[in-house]
Chain A
Amino acid sequence: MLRIEDLVVTMDGQDLTGDLVMQEGARVAVLGPSGAGKSTLLDVIAGFRQADGVLRWKCDVLADRPEDRPISILFQDGNLFPHMTIARNLALALRPDGCRLSPVQNEQVEQALARVGLAGMGPRKPGTLSGGQQSRAALARVLLQARPIILLDEPFSALGPALKQEMLALVQEVADELGALVMMVTHAPDDARRFAQSVVLVANGQVHEPVETEAFFKTPPAAFRGYIGQTTD
């Protein structure tokens, strides 16, 4: 499990605090108002931001450097190097030293592309693909990285509703295949409802414990009711 103990991170002069436990293989949505610290929380977990507290994965304290953490991450944008082919982008998951792939590894790349519906697209540059196809390619690389934690920092926010649902379904399949814990930052309660098994609310400087999705939306916390425009009586 991923355990965050005594988290304190300062952002814009305000502290974000909390304790969190998430099980392996879980799908967790991170919800909250803009600027509340959702992406900051993901940055802390990924190692891009320093914070007080202890982060453990399966009882081991996580390494300091992002590259040493067992984490794949999809950002809002810039998930692919635009000057490299899709195949080259994916190859970096298998050979971070940038060297040539073995025939077996090349086959793995092809399979990953086929798995996300991009068979034969390897030689193309990201700029020649649609937004949805680029997201798929980035997801294919997550599949190749095969890490036990996947962080999604609103990577599909620029996609239309239908495409976004399609991508979330694909993420679910990939996560199930890898048995990975997925944490997804989102602004859309509907996405959280469809995708996540539990919801972590980030609001008022506090990271709340995960709550089972159905229960969360049945009786939303006061901070969340304000965010979605429900009266707080």
Chain B
Amino acid sequence: MSTENCTECARHETLYHELDAFIEQNSHRPGVLIEVLHKAQSLFGFLPSEVQSFIAKRLDIPESTVFGVVTFYHYFTMKPRGQNQIKVCLGTACYVKGADKVLDRLKEELKVDIEEVTQDGRFSIHEVRCLGACSMAPVVLIGEKDFFGRVTPDEVPKILKKYRG
């Protein structure tokens, strides 16, 4: 257990180090907070309050400002997410083509609700705004790049299988 914690500590230290370097490089540019938050979330996976305090200190702005921005934008999250984030597009085109039914099936298969992480940490489900792939509606995006178009509820198990390893 203790060794595990230490690897975790070491990992965190590297992440903070990397974040620090990014801030160092960019802090001269005005209004850079959102970019720093993007970087932090890409490193840590989410934005816990410790990370927010760190950013506030380094940019010399109040923590409340950082918190205010984090909570304003949907993209930022203070909760951890699954290794594979399943994003179901609920844009108009996807909606009229039955995205809600795909979403229901995902919830059923993974036994979690929206914004929740499965017990094994492998998946989390998210509703997202239009992904701009309307011609392929309904669309599911897993991670940042794996697009699945014209998804039917019955295809859900097959799609998930690929990520179950």
Decide whether A and B are members of one complex.
no
